[in-house]
């Protein structure tokens, strides 16, 4: 039965929250101050109508908003949106006992997302592609996603054509499509091994659709042009489906903060370096040791570094930094370390940094919770958290990236640096 609620606050995931006598009730797409009618049930109530709208409510620009599970906050005006995202960082750090200077939310969206992972499925005999509905396994077919760069607007139709070659009835296919300088790069996953006939059809489609590269489960079927992504003076070719920051603007904002944090350091360790967006730019002024678990990402970085003139020396090391973090003695040759771990953070690596000779650490993170945990460990180990800047790379989602700059406090722990 429908009921009326008053929304009290905006939750971390973007739902409006009504604090009722029975506990908090999350209402997707509702805003603080609004009176709404909802259908209760499950973990979240369903919004039926907004009876008194917030002055912060705006018209969502995407026709799929509310059905597609990608964006959660297109209905919120720009200023309260930025305040909500920044506040997520402020409160998460405060819960870990940290109150550093926190900058304004930096734009990381720019021209839009340069990669999208589309799901493709056969619906009524036709292969369609799109995103999953919020909190469900239902496919919402889309024509184009307006938060991607224009080059990706044809991607849903392309993904459906590629998936149709390998799709078995009922089984969904994921197609990661990346916009590169040389055109679109598509990687298909979920189909199992493709037959020779299917591989030939995909190669023919790559030519028909003028794609730069097509791969299946990371195995390149055809590379018509190397799908390079410029990073400073260099332009690595990321391996199929390999990690890449979601937007060029986000990568630029994160890199600018990394470069600023590293300052005049002459020897820098770049941990969890990926394909090298930081290492390749840092090497324009410092020697870099780049460490990463995935061999294909490191190989792309190494190849780009060797092809680029005028860079300082970049050495690479494949290493599982969860199981085998760099040890305190290994940091003796560096003036600064950059660390950009996956969502789960870098607990083991941070523990080894504390008793090292490092006096500058720049931590990039896509998860405020694990950032707060790791930052608190560094702070109790003798580092000061000098600044944090939240970066909005995944605009209109609930995610926020952040960059923290740490400097060792004088006389607080750490080995003496080796004399050079």
Task: Show which residues are catalytic.
Answer: 366
Cβ burial, residue 1 (10 Å; 0-12/13-18/19+) = exposed
| Nearest distance, CB of residue 243 and ligand SAM, angstroms | 4
Pairing assessment for the beta strands 173-180 and 183-189 based on DSSP bridges: antiparallel
Q: Which of residues 353-392 bind ligand SAM (CB under 6 A)?
A: 366
Q: Does 14 bind ligand SAM (CB under 6 A)?
A: no
Kindly state whether residue 98 participates in binding ligand SAM, applying the rule CB under 6 A.
Answer: no
Which strands make up the sheet holding 46-52, listed edge to edge? 3-6, 35-39, 46-52
CA distances to 101, 172, 273, 335, 366 from 375, rounded to whole Å, are 14, 40, 19, 19, 13
Query: What are the residues whose beta carbons fall under 8 Å from the beta carbon of 94, sequence distance 6 or more?
Result: none
The reply on whether position 342 binds ligand SAM by CB under 6 A is: yes
* Nearest-approach distance from CB 278 to ligand SAM, in angstroms: 6
Angle, CA 300 vertex, CA 147 and CA 109 arms, to 5°: 20
340 marked as binding residue: yes
Provide the mask over 262-281, with x wherever binding to ligand SAM is found by CB under 6 A and - wherever it is not. ----------xxxx-xx---
Q: 55: which 2 tokens?
A: 């002055």
Q: Per the structure block, which two tokens stand in for 400?
A: 């926020």
> Is residue 351 a contact point for ligand SAM (CB under 6 A)?
no
Work out how close the CB of 214 gets to ligand SAM at its nearest, in angstroms, rounded to a whole number: 22
Annotated binding residue 200: no
Q: Rule CB under 6 A: is residue 8 a binding residue for ligand SAM?
A: no
Pick one of 73, 178, 215, 245: the residue that binds ligand SAM (CB under 6 A): 245
The count of C-alpha atoms lying within 13 angstroms of the C-alpha of 177, restricted to the half-sphere facing its C-beta, is: 30
Half-sphere exposure of 294 (CA within 13 A, CB side): 19
DSSP H or E stretch at residue 237: none
- By CB under 6 A, is residue 80 in contact with ligand SAM? no
Name the DSSP letter for residue 351.
H
Q: In what order do the strands lie in the sheet with 16-20?
A: 9-10, 16-20, 23-27
Does residue 218 touch ligand SAM according to CB under 6 A? Answer: no
Q: Is 243 annotated as a binding residue?
A: no
Looking at beta carbons only, is 87 or 174 nearer to ligand SAM? 174
Q: What is the CA radius of gyration of the chain?
A: 23
Strand partners, 52: 35
For the bound state, the minimum distance from the C-beta of residue 67 to ligand SAM, rounded and expressed in Å, comes to 29
Does 347 contact ligand SAM by CB under 6 A? no
| 245 assigned ligand-binding residue | yes
Which residue stretch of 79-87, 191-199, 334-342, 404-412 sits at the interface with ligand SAM (rule: CB under 6 A)? 334-342
Report the residue number, 31 or 258, with the smaller CB distance to ligand SAM: 258
Which of 322, 332, 348, 351 binds ligand SAM (CB under 6 A)? It is 322
Decide whether 218 or 382 has the Cβ nearer to ligand SAM. Answer: 218
- Interaction of residue 328 with ligand SAM, rule CB under 6 A: no
| Residues of the binding site for S-adenosyl-L-methionine | 245, 272, 292, 340
Kindly list the residues in this chain that would bind ligand SAM in the complex (CB under 6 A).
Answer: 243, 245, 272-275, 277-278, 292-294, 297, 320-322, 340-342, 366
């Amino acid at each position: 039965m429908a009921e009326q609620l008053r929304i009290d606050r905006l939750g971390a995931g973007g739902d409006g929250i009504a604090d009722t006598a029975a506990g908090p009730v999350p209402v997707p797409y509702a805003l603080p101050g609004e009176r709404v009618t909802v259908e209760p049930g499950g973990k979240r109530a369903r919004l039926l109508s907004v009876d008194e709208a917030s002055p912060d409510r705006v018209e969502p620009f995407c026709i799929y908003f509310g059905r597609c599970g990608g964006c959660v906050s297109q209905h919120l005006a720009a200023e309260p949106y930025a305040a909500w995202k920044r506040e997520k960082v402020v409160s998460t750090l405060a819960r870990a006992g940290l109150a550093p200077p926190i900058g304004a939310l930096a734009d990381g969206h720019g021209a839009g997302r340069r990669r999208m992972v589309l799901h493709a499925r056969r619906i009524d005999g036709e292969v369609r592609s799109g995103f999953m509905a919020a909190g469900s396994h239902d496919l919402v077919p889309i024509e184009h996603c307006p938060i991607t760069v224009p080059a990706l607007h044809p991607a849903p139709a392309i993904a459906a054509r590629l998936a149709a070659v390998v799709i078995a009835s009922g089984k969904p296919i994921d197609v990661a499509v990346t916009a590169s300088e040389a055109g679109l790069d598509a990687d298909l996953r979920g189909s199992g091994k493709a037959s020779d006939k299917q591989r030939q059809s995909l190669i023919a489609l790559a030519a028909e659709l003028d794609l730069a590269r097509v791969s299946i489960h990371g195995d390149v079927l055809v590379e018509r042009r190397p799908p390079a992504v410029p990073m400073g003076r260099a332009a690595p070719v990321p391996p199929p489906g390999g990690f890449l920051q979601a937007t060029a603007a986000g990568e630029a904002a994160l890199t600018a903060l990394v470069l600023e944090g590293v300052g005049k350091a002459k020897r820098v360790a770049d941990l969890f370096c990926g394909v090298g967006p930081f290492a390749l730019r840092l090497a324009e002024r410092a020697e870099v040791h780049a460490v990463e678990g995935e061999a294909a990402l490191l190989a792309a970085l190494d190849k780009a570094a060797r092809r680029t003139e005028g860079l300082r020396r970049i050495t690479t090391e494949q290493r599982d930094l969860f199981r085998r973090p760099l040890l305190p003695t290994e940091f003796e040759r560096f003036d600064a370390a950059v660390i950009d771990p996956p969502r789960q953070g870098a607990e083991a690596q941070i523990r080894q940094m504390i008793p090292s000779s490092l006096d500058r650490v720049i931590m990039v993170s896509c998860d405020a919770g694990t950032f707060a945990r790791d930052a608190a460990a560094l702070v109790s180990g003798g580092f000061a958290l000098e600044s944090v800047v939240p970066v909005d790379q995944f605009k209109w989602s609930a995610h926020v990236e952040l960059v923290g700059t740490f400097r060792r406090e004088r006389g607080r722990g750490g080995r003496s640096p080796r004399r050079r």
